[in-house]
């Protein structure tokens, strides 16, 4: 009998690993294939960067509370974030959309208003795409091309023991914003007269609906004369993305609970939702912050940058990626990640 293996038994990362089996790059200008935030291509003078992302209705977004304009902005920001994660500059995007007949021309205008606004904000050109009909709602895929000076590129697999671990911005907000929106949706479904109770929650809602790619941090690192020894963007959650960075670099890490940057609104939302703020910071996704390592000698150059928090350090024990808690315990960092392909 033929065997059938459920995709859920592998999970997203197991599946990518399996796809990658037996794939070897054959062209001399393919510097890096599968495995980082973007593929790296030798353009001669500099490196080209190439990355692609999917956004599917019902899987990645829920249009009952996600305005199309914001969705358009978010898909570009998320794509740009993968270029930022290579310490690169985004240049061109290609956007594919598939639409069911549920969508009007005006709805498509709204989506593209967001896409065009993001292209302007991130200084990228929308250079093409494909348009198709769909039977299952809205599907969007964004590919982005970027570039980076060869001596500035930051891979995932080059962190060194004793490097300092840094993260930009704050963590957990996007996940908590989503939980608030989901909660309001349930209330609304029960009683459509209800007004949403989202006062004072603008920051976390915005983190979910209108995230920014941290190009500002990429530029500020350059101005400070710092090249991260390794970098990844936090799209799946700090825990999951830190584990990628460590596994690929062959190092361990210690992160400090009391150093995790969490906004006041995130603490409030977490307590209202009965979710641990630390859990949200560790496992909530979609913050699109940059997680990177720097050598200790670069500490002085960025320690006063308010956008950057030092959350821990890398070790030579690759078996141990641990959270040093406020009560001085060390607990293993584990990824919740997603597994519902």
Q: Pick the binder of ligand ADP from 158, 229, 235, 293 (CB under 6 A).
A: 235
Handedness of CA 259, 315, 305, 146 (dihedral sign): negative
Q: Which does 35 bind (CB under 5 to 8 A by kind): Mg ion, ligand ADP, none?
A: ligand ADP
230's enclosing H/E stretch is: strand 230-234
Q: By CB under 6 A, is residue 37 in contact with ligand ADP?
A: yes
| CB proximity list for 20: less than 8 A, separation 6 or greater | 34, 35
Question: Interacting stretch for ligand ADP, rule CB under 6 A, among 28-36, 58-66, 127-135, 296-304?
Answer: 28-36
Which residue stretch of 29-37, 145-153, 183-191, 293-301 sits at the interface with ligand ADP (rule: CB under 6 A)?
29-37
State the minimum distance, in angstroms, from the CB of residue 121 to Mg ion.
19
Residue 108's closest CA among 84, 83, 161, 72? Answer: 72
Q: What is the DSSP string of 124-158?
A: -EEEEEEEEE-SSS-EEEEEEEEEE-GGG---SS-
Q: Is 194 in the site for ligand ADP (CB under 6 A)?
A: no
| 184 touches ligand ADP by CB under 6 A | no
Q: Is-contact 294 164, C-beta < 8 A?
A: yes
Distances from the Cα of 277 to the Cα of 55, 150, 174, 194, 323, angstroms: 26, 39, 12, 27, 14
Do the beta carbons of residue 316 and residue 161 sit within 8 Å?
yes
Q: Is 16 in the site for ligand ADP (CB under 6 A)?
A: yes
Binding of Mg ion at residue 263 (CB under 5 A)? no
Does 257 contact Mg ion by CB under 5 A?
A: no
Which strands sit side by side in the sheet containing 39-42, from one edge to the other?
30-32, 39-42, 47-56, 139-148, 89-99, 125-133
- Determine which residue in the list 31, 32, 36, 37 makes contact with Mg ion, applying CB under 5 A: 37
Beta carbon nearer to Mg ion, 69 or 244 = 244
Is 53 among the residues that bind ligand ADP (CB under 6 A)? yes
Residues in 157-176 at the binding interface with Mg ion, rule: CB under 5 A: none
Beta strands in 239-287 (DSSP E): 252-256
**Nearest to 55, CA basis, from 140, 167, 152, 151:** 140
Among 57, 110, 212, 233, binds Mg ion (CB under 5 A): 233
Per CB under 5 A, 289 contacts Mg ion: no
Site residues for Mg ion, 62-91, by CB under 5 A, read 82
286 binds ligand ADP (CB under 6 A): no
Residue 20 CB, nearest approach to ligand ADP (Å): 7
Say if residue 236 carries a ligand binding annotation: yes
Size of the site for Mg ion (CB under 5 A): 4
Binding footprint of ligand ADP on the chain (CB under 6 A): 16, 19, 34-37, 53, 82, 235
């Amino acid at each position: 009998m033929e065997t059938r293996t459920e995709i859920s038994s592998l999970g997203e990362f197991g599946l990518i690993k399996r796809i990658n089996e037996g794939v070897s790059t054959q062209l001399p200008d393919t510097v890096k294939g599968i495995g980082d935030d973007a593929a790296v291509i030798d353009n001669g003078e500099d490196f080209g960067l190439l990355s692609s992302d999917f956004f599917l209705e019902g899987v990645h977004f829920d249009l009952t509370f996600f305005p199309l304009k914001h969705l358009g902005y978010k898909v570009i920001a998320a794509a740009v974030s993968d270029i930022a994660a290579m310490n690169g500059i985004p240049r061109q995007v290609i956007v594919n959309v598939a639409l069911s007949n549920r969508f009007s021309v005006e709805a498509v205008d709204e989506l593209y208003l967001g896409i065009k606004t993001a292209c302007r904000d991130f200084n990228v050109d929308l250079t093409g795409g494909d348009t198709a009909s769909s039977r299952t709602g809205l599907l969007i895929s964004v590919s982005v091309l970027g570039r980076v000076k060869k001596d500035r590129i930051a891979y995932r697999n080059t962190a060194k023991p004793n490097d300092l671990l840094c993260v930009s911005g704050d963590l957990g907000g996007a996940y908590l914003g989503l939980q608030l929106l989901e909660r309001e949706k349930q209330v609304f479904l029960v009683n459509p007269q209800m007004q949403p109770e989202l006062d004072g929650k603008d920051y976390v809602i915005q983190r979910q609906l209108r995230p920014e790619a941290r190009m500002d941090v990429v530029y500020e690192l350059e101005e400070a004369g710092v090249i991260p020894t390794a970098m990844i963007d936090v799209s799946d959650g700090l825990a999951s993305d830190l584990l990628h960075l460590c596994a690929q670099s062959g190092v361990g890490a210690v992160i400090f609970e009391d150093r995790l940057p969490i906004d006041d609104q995130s603490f409030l939302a977490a307590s209202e939702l009965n979710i641990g703020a630390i859990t949200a910071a560790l496992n909530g996704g979609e913050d699109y912050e940059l997680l990177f390592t720097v050598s200790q000698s670069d500490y002085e150059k960025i320690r006063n940058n308010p956008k950057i928090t030092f959350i821990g350090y890398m070790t030579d024990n690759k078996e141990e990626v641990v959270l040093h808690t406020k009560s001085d315990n060390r607990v293993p960092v584990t990824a919740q990640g997603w597994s519902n392909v």
